Structure 1
Amino acid sequence: MKLWLALLLLCLPAIAHAQADEKKIAVAVPEIDRLFQDFQLDSHAPGLVYGIVANGRLVHVKGFGVQDLVHSRPVTPDSLFRIASMTKAFTALSILKLREEGRLSLDDPAERYLPEMRGWTHPTADSPRIRIRDLLTHSAGFVDDNPWGDRQTPMPEADFARLLGQGVPFSTAPGTRYEYSNFGYALLGRIVAQASGMPYRRYVEQSLLTPLGMTSSGYEIAEWPVERRAIGYRWDAGRWKKEPDMADGAFGAMGGLQTSANDYARWVAFLLSAWPARDAADAGPVPRAAVRMLAEGSNFMQLAQRSGKSGASACRQAAAYGMGMRVAQDCDLGLTLSHGGGYPGYGSHVMLMPDHGVGIFVFTNRTYTGGAGPAWDAAMLLKQAGALVAQPVAVSALVAEGYAAAGRIYAAGDVGVARETLAMNFLVDNDADSWAKKLAAIKAEVGACRTDAPVKATGNLSGEFVWTCDKGRVAGSLLLAPTMSAQIQEWKISVKTP
């Protein structure tokens, strides 16, 4: 085993930063177990497995039902499921790794790597050439193709090349709208192969799966014994029917990966380890900054309702498709990255909460039975249990210096005592006399304040504070200028009301 691989496997539990309260997760687990068990029973999925990843490791995993209906083998954390479109994040990160290696640019035209595209007829005279970035964010102008695309996994590469050579119809002009395209991700798989000089499948195995220790994961399901596999089924005309086993082919990049809960937890832990940005050495197969690019959404924002029972009464999310992941800001959970997987014989869902270092995933072996609802409901149960703890922003030396100056100003009632810490706009926006009157009014109401209370950093150049005073409290915020010294460009301060 290579030294860097050994170091990564040893460091995975540490690099995610302890952000979740595992004791409180344990308290919530019985109710979360019931959520997923009820979902498995109510959806009539033969089998289901789900996991919770926190602090860089799989802290809970549970299987329900069976992985096959003939021998009734129970689902275990090592049962192998196809995860369908959750594969797209592996494809996207492969592209981002190739970008880091200087083998491609996200703004390269896709036809540079796929010459079959050069003769395509675009929908309008002013249509731009399709970029790799457009394929990643489903904005290349292709039609939504879930019903068709889900059956294309085994297409031979030669047949795919002929299809490309014939050209394709466009739904919209490239770069004008989001429209989910499995076809677009199959093109990305072909680009990975062209840019890396090896088959897509081999590149993902060598560059991501092997380094992360995902030894039970791969694209060709026939390479694993059937005893380990969760067999895919659909419910049709009142009886179960086995879905066909689709071999690896030209569309594997859009949804062909097979994995286990134990393996997939390593992937989730690795993705979460990219947050927050920090100085520590990169231990993974892809730099943290590249992993965080998965969360860079396209400019086609949408308002969305949170999945699950809690979504009905929750504030709506601001959501967009990033690179292989759906990105949303949730008023309760913060930044979230998620993706569903719908496939003949399988359904899956993953949701990550990078602000808290926690991820939840679920696999089933029934067609299009994904489990998004219970996954998000489980996240809310963790939130309600107090298990999600946001990583605090460290107070920089600049913020600490500016905050100390603010305390001196309040004590003196005069901005002049710290004039050297004020940015050039500060006294232009409000002069010294105005500040003297404002500070005097606050002091008359609340009296002296203990200005040594901790400041809460909101960034390297900003912070918030609350001071306890003789007759009440004062709240405020501090914003520094983009200069190398701690110069205050804005200081807000007011009496805190109940």
Structure 2
Amino acid sequence: MHSYPSEHHPDDSTDSPGETPEWLAEAVATMMDTGRIPGLSLVVVDSKRSLYAGGFGTADPATGAPAAPTTAYLWFSMTKIVTATAAMTLVENGRLQLDAPAADYVDYLRAPSASQPTVGQLLTHTAGLSNPLPLRWVHPAEQEPPAVEDLLRSVMSRPRAYRHAPGQMARYTNIGYLALGQSIEAVSGMPVTSYLQQAVLDPAGMTGTGFAYRPGTPAATGYVRAPRAADPLLRRLLPPGVAGTRHSAYLGLRPFYVDGAAYGGLVGDVADAGRFLRLHLGDGRIQGRRILSAETARSMRVIEHPGKPFDHGIGWFRRPTQKAGDWVEHLGAGAGFWNVMRLYPEQGLGIVVMTNSTTTYDFEPLFALLTTASWP
């Protein structure tokens, strides 16, 4: 196991400790063993600094490269909360209206019924859209991506693109954030990747995160745990060029990107994910820079839309719980990677775990320890 100091920034009163406490090492080891996780990166933050940043296991079992806080992972759906944050900057400056029909910005989002889904409903997963399995919505890193507009138009042309009436129960969908990304492009006049970079990543100091692997930056290899006999099936399910070589019980994946930056395209490290949580713990402000108003940042984490499997706010969600106002989060999972980002506003803490494992794992015991620990 390895732990590393977090990157120092001028407003950080202290770097994270250079050594991992024994209780933390044991808790992570237990989680990794039971979840069969090859490599893991972890950060704990408050609004001012990184309290802890560490790496455990291997980012690439084939080479033995260790996981670290600077290791790049695919964020998958953790991207959505960054997209939501960017969208809310456009709401604040009057270029997007939450109660405006989404079709006002992107005409082919018009629903067949009289009731039209709004931008706000895209943000809260209450637009009534379907959620087709995006298993093949990826492409090898060396290939050009398909046009997102073509992908979204194709999905919206299906007979049941809108499976439910807008404004009803929240139902998680990637399509809503593809649509939100196209709405951002329509009003900003630039690619959604450029707007997210300009509006959120750059001002938050997230220098190790973007929409492509950075040359020279260590990156985790995604792994699917499956018996060797399953390799032919996995190679058929994944787009050509994505499945890589086997390492023991794991099939490795070659570098790839998600088709659709706004719903799942970020690539970056846990240290930057921690900075993003600091932005929201700071109610829209980080390192002296205000990205959102405090009122807007707080409004995003109001969980007021019941749903399945999550209750939703604006970007943030959580599984139904009796603990009102306790935490909000976003998960990011897909082929090769499984991540969780959680915000505890009342405690002033944020936690991110990023792994190169396809399958879920029980992170709740670890998070319970992290939220009750005494941090220097």
TM-score, normalised with respect to structure 1: 0.62
| Structure 1: distance between partners of 2:325 and 2:12 | 23
- 1:386 offset after TM fit, Å? 6.6
Of 262, 276, 284, which residue of structure 1 is paired with 2:290? 284
Of 262, 279, 287, which residue of structure 1 is paired with 2:271? 262
Of 340, 350, 358, which residue of structure 2 is paired with 1:367? 358
- 1:329 offset after TM fit, Å? 8.7
Asked whether the 8 Å contact 2:47–2:348 carries over to 1, the reply is yes
Asked whether the 8 Å contact 1:328–1:335 carries over to 2, the reply is no
| Structure 2: distance between partners of 1:290 and 1:134 | 16
- 1:174 offset after TM fit, Å? 1.4
2:366 — aligned with what? 378
Counting matched residue pairs gives: 341
| Structure 1: distance between partners of 2:66 and 2:280 | 29
Partner SS for 1:335: coil
1:373-452 paired onto structure 2 within 5 Å? 373-374=362-363, 376-382=364-370, 384-385=372-373
- Seen in structure 2, the aligned counterparts of structure 1 residues 257 and 368 have a Cα distance that, compared at 3 Å, is farther
- 1:168 offset after TM fit, Å? 4.8
1:233 — aligned with what? 223
| Structure 1: distance between partners of 2:270 and 2:13 | 17
1:140 — aligned with what? 127
In structure 2, runs of 5+ residues without a counterpart are 1-8, 139-144, 229-248
Residue deviations 1:284-341 (CA, integer Å, cap 9, x gap) = 2222222222213343268x9xxxxxxxxxxxxxx72112111479677953111111
1:346 and 2:337 matched = yes
1:293 — aligned with what? 299
1:287-366 paired onto structure 2 within 5 Å? 287-300=293-306, 320-327=311-318, 334-366=325-357
Q: 2:314 corresponds to which letter in structure 1? A: M
| Structure 1: distance between partners of 2:118 and 2:47 | 36
Asked whether the 8 Å contact 2:77–2:333 carries over to 1, the reply is yes
Higher relative contact order (CA 8 A, sep 6+): 2
1:96 — aligned with what? 88
Partner SS for 1:34: helix
1:171-186 paired onto structure 2 within 5 Å? 171-186=163-178
| Structure 1 or 2: more helix by fraction | 1
Asked whether the 8 Å contact 1:28–1:385 carries over to 2, the reply is no
**Which stretch has the larger CA shift, 237-246 or 97-106?**
237-246
- 1:158 offset after TM fit, Å? 4.6
- 1:166 offset after TM fit, Å? 2.4
TM-score, normalised with respect to structure 2: 0.80
| Structure 2: distance between partners of 1:385 and 1:213 | 27
Of 107, 110, 116, which residue of structure 2 is paired with 1:129? 116
Structure number, greater radius of gyration: 1
In structure 1, runs of 5+ residues without a counterpart are 1-8, 15-21, 305-318, 388-498
Of 27, 44, 48, which residue of structure 2 is paired with 1:35? 27
Partner SS for 2:289: coil
Residue deviations 1:430-458 (CA, integer Å, cap 9, x gap) = xxxxxxxxxxxxxxxxxxxxxxxxxxxxx
Identity, % of aligned pairs?
26
1:17-96 paired onto structure 2 within 5 Å? 29-96=21-88
- Seen in structure 2, the aligned counterparts of structure 1 residues 327 and 92 have a Cα distance that, compared at 3 Å, is same
Asked whether the 8 Å contact 2:152–2:175 carries over to 1, the reply is no
Partner SS for 1:216: coil
Of 203, 215, 218, which residue of structure 2 is paired with 1:224? 215
